[in-house]
Amino acid sequence: MTVDAWIAEPVNWVFSIVAVVILFTAVRVVTSPNVVHAALYLVAALAGSAVMFLLLSAEFVALVLVLVYIGAVLVLFLFGIMITRAPTGFDEGLSNDRKLVSAAISLVLLGVLSWASLSAFGTDTVNTVGSPTATEILGDAILGRFVIPFEVVSFILLSALIGGITVARRDLTPLEEEERKAV
């Protein structure tokens, strides 16, 4: 497919615009000097990814991305930021001098992911816009063929949850127990 033919498709215009937005916001997530701004740029980047899924006619995945990441995970991020510190100016201590290492790791990750998806799917194409994947098929796949990975992921989440509670919880000292009983 030549570039002219590629750009003639309206879907690809949307793709290009959204891709530019995602790249810009993703860069701003790590370069923004204000931690709340960084979190909000992450929201924008995730919203862009949701649009990408919509372009691939994966409605369910797109909406679950919005629901779980934007609607829950990022809200928790913001909660964490605001309950500890919520600067409205610049935050000097936000960056450190380990930029090279992070850049190298990011590049390696990009390489691995690109290699994995290229070798898995190659030149396969997906459904065109307007014929979305039925949610039923996804449900059958998750609870059929992929049920064991699904359960494993659930257990990882459960153990993370229990770990979080154990780390955050502070048992009362005997003295405090006495005080609480007295009240």
Site for another protein in 90-119 (CB under 8 A): none
Minimum CB–partner distance for residue 123 and another protein (Å): 28
Per-residue binder mask for another protein (CB under 8 A), 60-89, x = binder: x--xx-xx--xxx--xx-xx--xx--x-x-
129 contacts another protein (rule: CB under 8 A): no
Nearest residue to 55 (alpha-carbon basis) of 113, 4, 127: 127
Instruction: Output 86 or 104, the one with its CB closest to another protein.
Output: 86
**∠106-113-25 over CA atoms, to 5°?**
50
CA–CA distance, 157 with 178 (Å, rounded to integer): 35
46 contacts another protein (rule: CB under 8 A): no
CA–CA distance, 132 with 58 (Å, rounded to integer): 6
Share in percent of the chain as helix, strand, coil (round to 5): 75, 0, 25
Binding site for another protein (CB under 8 A): 36, 40, 43, 59-60, 63-64, 66-67, 70-72, 75-76, 78-79, 82-83, 86, 88, 132, 134-136, 139
